Structure 1
Amino acid sequence: MDRRRFLLGGAALGCSLAASPLITPIALAAGPWDNRLVVIVLRGAMDGLDAVRPLGDPDYAALRPTLDAGDALPLGDFWGLHPGLAALMPLWQAGQLGAMHAVSTPYRDGRSHFDGQDVLEAGTLDIDGATGGWLNRMMTVVPGMTAQTAYAIGQDRMAILQGPAPHLQWSPESRFDLSPQARRLPELTLHDDPMFRDAALQAVGIADQLSLDTASGMAKATGPGSYVELARFAASRLREDTRIASFSVNGWDTHLNQTGSLTRALGRLSETILALRDGLGPVWDRTAVLCLTEFGRTARENGTKGTDHGTGGAMIYAGGALRGGRIVGRWPGLSEADLYDRRDLMPTGDVRAAAGWVMRGLFGLDAAQVRDIVFPGLDLGAQPEFLL
């Protein structure tokens, strides 16, 4: 358990930091090709069923009577986009935004943030036997690959880029300007005690609303560690020698009052992606952005208008190097018999395979390198529809 526990200020916060907005790391590396890859880790388990809604599924509305407010942006006859992502609709229309649905890592049943993020960043269930994170392993097999730098903002490390390929860490001078999300630590520490969790979250929700009412109305990260600033910094490096960037966008653990909290989180993600697009300029056309999360959330909403830890979810992708304007993946359905363990969206695809195909397309890795080194034992399967 020690390797899955962060220490901050001498206090072991354990699971709470796995989805905490206090820690926002970023890592970058240089390479010998012209394409760029940005991997954004959505810590806290994004609800893919809410972010990209299967409105055409006959069982969807009954599973989510309060979460589906009829405000989704239509993406054809079957899918709808959460209004929190409305700012990204021009990217969808330009073919530079899409999603792969019903995907997951091979992690099952434990539904722990730490374990799920370990598997996501290690790229394998054999975490203890893995040689660093999967992006770091990719760096070791690309001819001419040189690790330029790896930055960590805060006291965390991006495990996805840890490993034998050299890297550095950097913590800027910053202060903890806590957003309302930071006051939701009770949600993260009281997962297994619904009575205390719900009572605490109701009190914190009132405090959050009072805070928002007296603020400027802009519910987003502030200070030098804001997500927009991280994206701008990453873009500035990617326009030069850097070819790979990875950082986190936090705040996706939505057990209570999901409508408000997910809207804010998706708004932060929208701002982040648009900041990357604007900062990259013409390089955006040669960039792939993959937004990955440790697992999805329950198909059925809970009694506090939220969702609990689940299995299958969605990967949002963006950039001019991928084919957007579509939702890809094999849809399993939402009837009770179709759900995983009769509670979660059934995974029909491995999110690692999606990343593996992107690395093949962008950087020329062959199937054996992806299957044997980057993601040991992975079945790549068929080429996904989002590759150009």
Structure 2
Amino acid sequence: MLDRRRFLTTGACSLAAAPLVSPMAFASLPSDHRLVVVILRGAMDGLDVLQPYGDPDLARLRPEFAIGPAAGALDLTGFHAMHPGLEDLLPLWRAGELGFAQAVSTPYRDGRSHFDGQDILEAGTAGEVPPMIGRDGWLNRLLGVLPGVEGRTAFAIGREDMLLLRGAAPHAAWAPDARLEMAAATRDLLTHIYHDDPLFRDRAAEALRLSAQGPSAKRGQGDGVEALFGFAASQLAADSRIAALSLAGWDTHRRQDRALLPPLRRLARGILTLRDGLGPVWARTTVLAMTEFGRTAAHNGTRGTDHGTGGAMIAAGGAIAGGQVWGGWPGLAEADLLDRRDLMPLRDVRAYAAWALHGLFGVDRGVLSRVVFPGLEMGTDPGLLA
């Protein structure tokens, strides 16, 4: 008789070699709030996503870019306009369920490497590049200080979890762009093995359902964003409370007018899919979309932007105090720029995440600044949550 746990372990090891596009991780904990962290890989240009068109130096630095309401951007504050790629999220802004934190960054400086920058962002460290062995992520450290955390049985397909949730605390992973291939007889055997096991029976049924769907159906839907965020919504509406996922495509060195539009539209579709799938739970949900660093204040010779420092964070959800832009504005005059090239960051993006964790889950500020985000000065509450 095949041991059911050995069967599950063997299957998981076999699946680890399957290709995937976007990893996703979940965690359950005894809280009624939900947190979704979206890593925007490639360094999103915050100055284009949230255009401070009221600063006259923006047009000086970017003369070949379409800037402000006169060029099709969506006016938000009379000083800031939202990129038209996020137009579908305008109702969320008006409902107080969308906001932006401006002039933020991680402590990462100088190197401007995507790999190092993403490691710093996900590790939540104070600026040093984490060692290759023993790295863990700030969401995993959060789980380590919350009472009653349990990992849910799920599937990690294609590669290891995101660094954001990697660590000793229990969690699970799943990726939608992979397929569990099995013959009909094997499906029947799996169903039989887990029939009387209350722990694994429902998870096995979920695996078979996902196998039946397969990636081909998702590819028919386009880029799979709806599947990614839709699955997140289905888990968060049940027993999961934290989800972490990533979207790539934000590196816009050339023709930014063309390159930035697709990822913005994917992000907008993902957030709306999450809202629709969560239903009433959306009112207790916070979404933080974060990127490894910003981009240069001036455009380059190919009408793109290069790796910079200060940028923006996008927040969404029914639990946020949206309809506003958080943080001060440093200005874009040459003397105000960092190294005369980048938007000057005025606040650590980790502080916004830390205040969100404090408000959502009641984590002590000292624990946040020592354990979850080592070396962080949280400062005053930015008022991110409603």
TM-score class, shorter: 0.7 to 0.9
Write the deviation string for residues 255-292 of structure 1: whole angstroms up to 9, x where unpaired: 00111110111000000000000000000000000000
Residue type of the partner of 2:277?
G
Residue aligning to 1:118: 119
- Cα distance between partner residues in 2 of 1:62 and 1:30: 49
Q: Equivalent of 1:342, from 340, 343, 350?
A: 340
Percent identical residues: 58
SS at match of 1:290: strand
Residue aligning to 1:141: 145
- Cα distance between partner residues in 2 of 1:173 and 1:45: 23
Residue aligning to 1:174: 178
Is residue 354 from structure 1 mapped to residue 352 from structure 2 by the alignment? yes
- Cα distance between partner residues in 1 of 2:376 and 2:344: 19
Contact 2:23–2:174 under 8 Å retained in 1: no
Is residue 79 from structure 1 mapped to residue 93 from structure 2 by the alignment? no
For residues 169 and 234 of structure 1, do their structure 2 counterparts lie closer, same or farther at Cα, with a shift above 3 Å needed? closer
For residues 313 and 131 of structure 1, do their structure 2 counterparts lie closer, same or farther at Cα, with a shift above 3 Å needed? same
Runs (5+) with no aligned partner, structure 2: 1-16, 180-217
Residue aligning to 2:56: 58
For residues 306 and 91 of structure 1, do their structure 2 counterparts lie closer, same or farther at Cα, with a shift above 3 Å needed? same
Contact 1:24–1:154 under 8 Å retained in 2: no
Contact 1:59–1:334 under 8 Å retained in 2: yes
| Structure number with bigger Rg | 2
- Cα distance between partner residues in 2 of 1:170 and 1:224: 19
Residue type of the partner of 2:76?
L
Residue aligning to 2:197: none
SS at match of 1:140: helix
Residue aligning to 1:182: none
Residue type of the partner of 1:95?
G
Write the deviation string for residues 218-248 of structure 1: whole angstroms up to 9, x where unpaired: xx97669712111000000000000000000
Residue type of the partner of 1:352?
R
Residue aligning to 1:253: 251
SS at match of 1:92: helix
Residue aligning to 1:292: 290
Q: Equivalent of 1:277, from 261, 275, 278?
A: 275
Residue type of the partner of 1:247?
L
TM-score, normalised with respect to structure 1 = 0.80
Runs (5+) with no aligned partner, structure 1: 1-9, 11-20, 176-219
- Cα distance between partner residues in 1 of 2:157 and 2:228: 9
For residues 159 and 144 of structure 1, do their structure 2 counterparts lie closer, same or farther at Cα, with a shift above 3 Å needed? same
SS at match of 1:385: coil
Write the deviation string for residues 128-171 of structure 1: whole angstroms up to 9, x where unpaired: 39751000000000112222257555435311000001234445
SS at match of 1:283: helix
Residue type of the partner of 1:325?
G
Write the deviation string for residues 172-191 of structure 1: whole angstroms up to 9, x where unpaired: 5638xxxxxxxxxxxxxxxx
Contact 1:153–1:225 under 8 Å retained in 2: no
Q: Equivalent of 1:165, from 162, 169, 179?
A: 169
For residues 277 and 103 of structure 1, do their structure 2 counterparts lie closer, same or farther at Cα, with a shift above 3 Å needed? same
How do 1:32-43 and structure 2 match up within 5 A? 32-43=30-41
For residues 151 and 58 of structure 1, do their structure 2 counterparts lie closer, same or farther at Cα, with a shift above 3 Å needed? farther
Residue type of the partner of 2:137?
G
RMSD (Å), alpha carbons: 2.2
